[in-house]
Amino acid sequence: MSKKWRLTERTKTLLTLELAIVLPAAALMGFSVWNLKHIQRDKAIEAAIQRDFGHVLKIAESKSWREANDLLTPVRKEFPSPDDGAQIKPKLESLLRQHPEYAYAVLYDKKNNLMVSRVQPGRDQDQAFCAYTQGEINNLVSWLPVEASSEVKHLRMMKEEHPVGFYGGWMVRANQHAYFNVAYFIPADVRDDRVALGVVAFDEDYLRKSFFPAIVSDVLSSKNTVLRADANLPVMMIHAPKDSTPWVASADWDGGEPEEERRFADVFPNLIFAMKYQGTTIADIGNRFLRYNYIVLGALSVLMVGGIWLTYRNVSREMNLARLKSDFVANVSHELRTPLALIRLYAETLELGRLTAKEKYQEYFRIIREESERLTALINNILDFSRIEAGRKEYEFKETNLADLVRSTLDSYRFQIEQNGFAFEENISGDIPPVTVDREAIARSLLNLVNNALKYSKDQKYIGVSLYQANSRVNLEVRDRGIGIPPNEQEKIFEKFYRCGDPLVHNIKGSGLGLSLVRHIARAHGGEVLVESSPEKGSKFTIALPLDPGLRTAAA
Q: Which residues bind ligand ADP (CB under 6 A)?
A: 448, 452-453, 456, 480, 482-485, 493, 498-500, 505, 510-516, 539
**Counts for the chain of helices (H) and strands (E), in that order:** 14, 16
Nearer to ligand ADP, 179 or 498 (CB): 498
Contact 285, 43 (CB under 8 A): no
Helix (H) / strand (E) element for 165: namely strand 165-173
Nearer to ligand ADP, 187 or 484 (CB): 484
345-to-299, 362, 369, 376, 470 alpha-carbon distances in Å? 68, 15, 13, 18, 48
What distance in Å separates the CA atoms of residue 388 and residue 235, rounded to the nearest whole number? 73
- Contacts of residue 532, Cβ cutoff 8 Å, sequence gap at least 6: 539, 540, 542
First-to-final CA distance of the chain: 45
Nearer to ligand ADP, 133 or 448 (CB): 448
What distance in Å separates the CA atoms of residue 194 and residue 382, rounded to the nearest whole number? 120
Q: Where are the alpha helices (DSSP H) in 79-236?
A: 88-98, 127-157, 204-206, 212-221
Nearer to ligand ADP, 287 or 466 (CB): 466
Q: Cβ of 69: how many Cβ atoms within 10 Å?
A: 15
What distance in Å separates the CA atoms of residue 230 and residue 288, rounded to the nearest whole number? 14
Q: Smallest gap, in angstroms, from Cβ of residue 429 to ligand ADP?
A: 23
495-to-491, 512, 518 alpha-carbon distances in Å? 8, 8, 11
Q: Smallest gap, in angstroms, from Cβ of residue 456 to ligand ADP?
A: 3
Q: Which of 13, 32, 204, 15 is nearest to 102 (CA)?
A: 204
Nearer to ligand ADP, 197 or 483 (CB): 483
Which amino acid appears at position 508 of this protein? I
Q: Smallest gap, in angstroms, from Cβ of residue 316 to ligand ADP?
A: 20
Nearer to ligand ADP, 64 or 516 (CB): 516
Q: Which of 458, 445, 449 is nearest to 527 (CA)?
A: 445
Q: Smallest gap, in angstroms, from Cβ of residue 427 to ligand ADP?
A: 18
Helix (H) / strand (E) element for 410: namely helix 402-419
Nearer to ligand ADP, 395 or 462 (CB): 462
Rounded to 10°, the helix 44-78/23-42 angle is 40
Q: Smallest gap, in angstroms, from Cβ of residue 536 to ligand ADP?
A: 10
3-state secondary structure of 379: helix
Q: Smallest gap, in angstroms, from Cβ of residue 514 to ligand ADP?
A: 3
Q: Smallest gap, in angstroms, from Cβ of residue 11 to ligand ADP?
A: 27
Q: Smallest gap, in angstroms, from Cβ of residue 505 to ligand ADP?
A: 4
Nearer to ligand ADP, 421 or 550 (CB): 421
Q: Smallest gap, in angstroms, from Cβ of residue 453 to ligand ADP?
A: 5
- Contacts of residue 229, Cβ cutoff 8 Å, sequence gap at least 6: none
Q: Smallest gap, in angstroms, from Cβ of residue 381 to ligand ADP?
A: 8
Q: Smallest gap, in angstroms, from Cβ of residue 528 to ligand ADP?
A: 16
Nearer to ligand ADP, 510 or 546 (CB): 510
Nearer to ligand ADP, 250 or 452 (CB): 452
What distance in Å separates the CA atoms of residue 115 and residue 137, rounded to the nearest whole number? 11
- Contacts of residue 234, Cβ cutoff 8 Å, sequence gap at least 6: 53, 56, 220, 225, 227, 275, 276, 277, 278
Phi, psi of 398 (to 5 degrees): -140, 150
Nearer to ligand ADP, 233 or 375 (CB): 375
Q: Smallest gap, in angstroms, from Cβ of residue 359 to ligand ADP?
A: 32
Nearer to ligand ADP, 211 or 456 (CB): 456
Q: Smallest gap, in angstroms, from Cβ of residue 367 to ligand ADP?
A: 21
Nearer to ligand ADP, 282 or 493 (CB): 493
What distance in Å separates the CA atoms of residue 467 and residue 442, rounded to the nearest whole number? 13
CA dihedral 408, 410, 413, 414 (to 10 degrees): -110
Nearer to ligand ADP, 52 or 480 (CB): 480
Q: Smallest gap, in angstroms, from Cβ of residue 459 to ligand ADP?
A: 14
What distance in Å separates the CA atoms of residue 525 and residue 440, rounded to the nearest whole number? 13
What distance in Å separates the CA atoms of residue 198 and residue 84, rounded to the nearest whole number? 13
Helix (H) / strand (E) element for 302: namely helix 282-352
